[in-house]
Amino acid sequence: MLPITRKGVRILRPAEYEQLLTALNEHEKAQFNGLLATGMRYIEAVRFQQHPEWLDGRFIRLPRGSVLKKRTEFEERTIMLSNWGQKVVPLFLLKANKLPSRNSWDWLLNDRAKKAGLEMAADGGLCAKTTRKTWESWLIATYPQAEGLIAASQGHTQTTQIKHYLGLGFYPEEIESMKKYVEGFLPSF
């Protein structure tokens, strides 16, 4: 299978994510899983580590001013966590070292990917945006009926979501593998 990229950013399949984990140490795993499970922008995750009180059970409530993207649709937002996210996010806050600079993180991910034997994409490598794009892609592939809810949690419009995350070509068995990570993201009524 060819690596999936969008705009030069690598999006991981579940097996690639699991393969990458084999090359990460305990702190790096806590960092990577925290970034993936929240789908936060990298700078938001840096700020979240400084403000663990934003965690509210199965939600992370980003207050006004914490969303630091220059052009954003949402000045504040609530990030919904899956069951898996509820387990790994506290580890991100307790066990993960402070996130390094984006350049250092990008270098680390690509170094660990090579050590794990992960096939590298010709048109884009792993970077700080990988976890965010991977997470939203997994959510959309698993819960296509919840586009609006996913977009709001990620701080996107549905137009952005359609342009970047729909139709990435995951195989049915990959979508099945995603379920153990995304299950519980949608509230059950």
Over residues 34-53, the pLDDT tens digits come to 999 999 999 999 999 999 99
Please state, in angstroms and rounded to a whole number, the distance separating the CA atoms of residues 15 and 124. Answer: 18
The full set of domain ranges for the chain reads 7-182
Tell me the two tokens of residue 63: 């207050």
**Domain 7-182 class, CATH top level:** mainly alpha
**Closest by CA position to 118, among listed 24, 28, 36:** 24
pTM, 2 dp: 0.91
pLDDT digits (tens, 9 = 90+) for 164-188: 566 678 999 999 999 999 999 987 6
pLDDT digits (tens, 9 = 90+) for 67-118: 555 555 557 899 999 999 999 999 999 987 899 999 999 999 999 999 999 9
